[in-house]
Chains A and B, each alone.
Chain A
Amino acid sequence: MIRILRQIFRTGIVTEPLPDGASEVEVVGRRLEEAVMRRFRRSITIRQVDAGSCNGCELEINAIGNAVYNCEKYGIHFTASPRFADLLLVTGPVTRNMETALKRTYVSTPAPKLVVAVGDCGGNGGIFGQNYASLGGVDKVIPVDAFIPGCPPTPAAIMQGLLTLLDKAPAK
């Protein structure tokens, strides 16, 4: 136990400091916090859906929750159920085999709801394109409010993308 405590104190807070440091993550995060507070009364809850990605985007979405980016600090939570979600964070390309599951997840999410497509493949199908098994971008299957490009987008880019959307979102 003493080792764990020591390690915690030794590590300290690794979340990057708020501006004047002008780190990309923090600028995004701070503006995001304002937007979150205004639109979503302090917090938004995200349900992530992998609709066919290569897992690259999932790694980076996971990373926004690590101690360095610490998305929870800005009121961004991930939930296990679409029923509790304000926002669906979807990666693509949407496969034919995931189409039904994605639509059902969308229907299960209560309105008002937002959909953000993450990654180049979620945007337009990326290198996989459209074929018998891949339907292409997320907007081919459900309405999308914002796209976050990148292959995969960096955690900082994902935070930036969420912010862009929240500024545009109608008041809740």
Chain B
Amino acid sequence: MSLLKTAITSLPGQDARFLEDYQFPAKVAFCEVPLEKFTEAAKAMKKAYALLAAEWATDETPFGRGYGIFACYRWGSEYLIVKTSAPADDPAFPSLTKRFLPAYRFERQIQSLMGVTPLNHPDTRPWIKFEDWPSDAWPLRKSFDASRPMPRVEGEYRWIRAEGEGVYEIPVGPVHAGIIEPGHFRFQAVGEEVLNLEERLGYVHKGIEKRFESLSWEEGFRLAGRVSGDTTVAHSLGYCMALESLAGCNPPERAHWIRALFLERERIANHLGDIGAICNDAAFAFMLYQMMVLKEALLRTNHRLFGHRFIMDMVAPGGVSADIDASGKQEISAELDRVSKEFERLVTIYEENPSLEDRVRNTGILKPERAREMCTVGIVARASGLNLDCRIFNPFPPYDQYDRLELGVPVMITGDVHARTWVRVQEVRESIRIIKWILENLPDGPISAPLEKPSPDKAGFSAVEGWRGEIVYWLQSGPAGEMNRCMVRDPSSVNWLGLEQAIHGNIVPDFPICNKSFNQSYSGHDL
């Protein structure tokens, strides 16, 4: 029996009830616990060194039930989802925030959008829901009419305050200076030093999770591809894999491999852009211009071969909708040789530049123990000593061929801007190698399999390593087999918490470079 399952079954009273035929894929364990045992289950998970991957709620009134509250834990390659139920007339559940820090925002979000109250939560301010929303507007409830515009009401957001001699506040955003997404940051500072940073997000809340519920299963992947435009491949892949597990569809081998090819190309393109942008925020514009030329080359190749610069909408339920032929393989191979050569030259310049080193080292440190407490994922986690990568721990073909692929996962422990940059550098190298290996070994065959309609009241799950980190999708089918709920957890939902911690004690002018080294998604967080 798996470690997490053992930990849950050893709960006093043996209250955990495992459901075998509800959650797919079957390797993801699923159990129900009574409401009063929800925190005890979290305690048991904490003791087993598990991390909280996501927490969400569903409105299950269409099934004649109340509200479901779900916590998804991860330990190594194991995932365990613990569900508890709250009655429809008094929806509340015990908060997990004291056990797992990322629950802090997950639960504020549950309260704000689903109207299910986390009891004993230390912060009852709404999250994503702004102060001018009617307080009884809970859009994720089935009774909420999403097509009606919401009236604006009077309200106030209570910011965290710092007082004392010489303490001042800097509000930034939502409209930022650069060409980036909107969000609000509020600094309390003394002189140049940041005492505290409070993030306020939600500006790009488009009602994505609610919108999913009005789409058919076949249409959903297009919306998933627009949850965060820079991660379009990984998000549509996450959606498709969750749907395929729910509907019992097995995409052909070749489709999996092409998906991996797309995923790695997306990773390289974004990492190149980020490495350049981090250097640019240290006033080293040379690197940005050089990296952007390489990135542009990749995007153009994508456009020529797959019909879209970001490969949007090419991962579809059941497989992929773009294939690659011999000349395409050759083109990618030649392109990667060229990019790789240039990239290595630039990396040498990065390494040998003392003024750059001065800015990126020991700046914005997210300590390993903090990174773990925050349950961070992806590049942020790997730069702070956490060895997490879904390509290793939750692989799909070809990543499951460990002995042939020998995928390397870079882990740094310094947790500073340099570490987050260097993890990206190593990942670019690794992704180039993976793509070449995929091109050499790509199996023949069809690229798509038919998808059947899911049966009612089942759930599908997926975890995909996008370029930012682990993306989690959880789908639930309704009483007629339609989409009842689509939960999206972008890596940003947890990693934004890490940025607040990393900035402590840094100087205000270093915030842009710290922020850029995280480069989290606003849209993926706000949904």
Contacts and interface: CB of A to CB of B under 8 A. Distances in A.
Nearest to A105: B175
B229 A54 contact: yes
Interface in A4-25: 4, 7-8, 11, 14
B174 interface: yes
A114 to B, nearest CB: 17
Interface residues of B, number: 56
B483 to A, nearest CB: 15
Interface string B156-191: 000000000000000000110111111000000000
A53 B203 CA distance: 10
Interface residues of A, number: 49
A98 B207 contact: no
B229 A152 contact: yes
Interface in A62-103: 62-63, 66-68, 78, 80-82, 93, 95-98, 101
A101 B183 CA distance: 11
Query: Main secondary structure on chain B at its contact with chain A?
Result: loop
A166 B35 CA distance: 62
B154 to A, nearest CB: 14
B202 interface: yes
Contact of A97 (B130, B210, B211): B130
A61 interface: yes
Query: Main secondary structure on chain A at its contact with chain B?
Result: mixed
B349 A59 contact: no
Given A61-B179, A62-B179, A97-B130, A53 B204 contact: yes
Contact of A56 (B203, B226, B345): B226
A54 B177 contact: no
A53 B230 contact: no
Q: Counting chain A CB atoms within 10 Å of each CB, which of B204, B522, B523 scores highest?
A: B204
A3 B148 CA distance: 60
Given A3-B348, A53-B204, A67 B293 contact: yes
Nearest to A7: B345
Contacts of B144: 132
Contacts of B137: 132
B206 A132 contact: no
Contact of B208 (A63, A78, A82, A128): A128
Interface of A: 3-4, 7-8, 11, 14, 48-63, 66-68, 78, 80-82, 93, 95-98, 101, 105, 126-135, 151-152, 154
